[in-house]
């Protein structure tokens, strides 16, 4: 039987990287004693308004991420939103420009059992650096690897599947307090939650 060392799985001549060590490495790289606040939004437009409010208030955007779900309709990728019912779907390319005008990096990831994860900002760069096996493990595994507690990511997965969007803000306590004030003032969120980083 393979012997778990906490870093690697070793069995005779074969030796593979133990995924948990990758989880911890990425988590430490991204979080590094930070906490977070997660805003839940009904549409991409409202989530983007929140990001713009943070930008206007000079909050460091390298600590801000936007996450949503995309789906294939008529052979084209569209942003899934709980507000698009009756309005028609929004094509990904139509929103890429406004997002990239504010946040760095735009990513689209095929996640087994979930569909397509769409997003921009700090966390997207981290997900892009994940091992293929980790990304293939599902959205829960990805969010846990980013540092969120499992009991929180189950709710976030539900929000994303419903067509809601997440704006994730990371920082020290002073930065999170400032971000919370900015987002409350902007006011387009459904609710704000503690990110509950591990």
- pLDDT, tens digit (0-9, with 9 covering 90-100), for 18-31: 344 444 444 444 44
Most confident of 60-64, 96-100, 101-105, 142-146: 60-64
- With cut-offs at 50, 70 and 90, classify the pLDDT of residue 14: very low
pLDDT surpassing 60 at residue 116: yes
CA 152 to chain centre: 13
Q: Which residue has the tokens 């540092």?
A: 147
Say which residues have a Cβ less than 8 Å from residue 57's Cβ, sequence separation at least 6.
178, 182
**Chain centre distance of CA 23:** 15
Q: What's the pLDDT score for residue 34?
A: 66
Query: For residue range 66-90, what is the model confidence (pLDDT) as tens digits?
Result: 998 887 776 666 666 665 544 555 5
Write down the pTM of the prediction.
Answer: 0.73
Determine phi and psi for 189, rounding to 5 degrees: -75, 160
Q: What is the DSSP string of 103-140?
A: SS-EEEEEETTTEEEEEEEHHHHHHHTS-HHHHTT-HH
């Amino acid at each position: 039987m393979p012997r778990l060392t906490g870093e690697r799985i070793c069995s005779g001549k074969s030796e593979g990287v133990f995924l948990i060590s990758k989880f911890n490495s990425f988590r430490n790289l991204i979080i590094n004693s930070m906490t977070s606040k997660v805003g839940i939004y009904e549409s991409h437009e409202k989530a983007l308004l929140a990001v713009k409010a943070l930008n206007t208030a000079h909050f460091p955007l390298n600590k801000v991420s936007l996450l949503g779900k995309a789906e294939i309709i008529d052979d084209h990728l569209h942003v899934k939103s709980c507000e698009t019912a009756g309005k028609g779907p929004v094509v990904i390319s139509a929103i890429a420009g406004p997002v990239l005008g504010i946040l760095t990096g735009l990513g689209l990831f095929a996640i087994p059992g979930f569909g397509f994860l769409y997003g921009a900002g700090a966390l997207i760069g981290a997900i892009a650096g994940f091992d293929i096996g980790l990304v293939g493990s599902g959205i829960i595994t990805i969010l846990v690897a980013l540092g969120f507690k499992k009991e929180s990511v189950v709710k976030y997965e539900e929000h994303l599947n419903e067509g809601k969007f997440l704006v994730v803000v990371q920082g020290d306590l002073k930065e999170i307090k400032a971000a919370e004030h900015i987002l409350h003032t902007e006011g387009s969120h459904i609710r704000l939650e503690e990110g509950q980083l591990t």
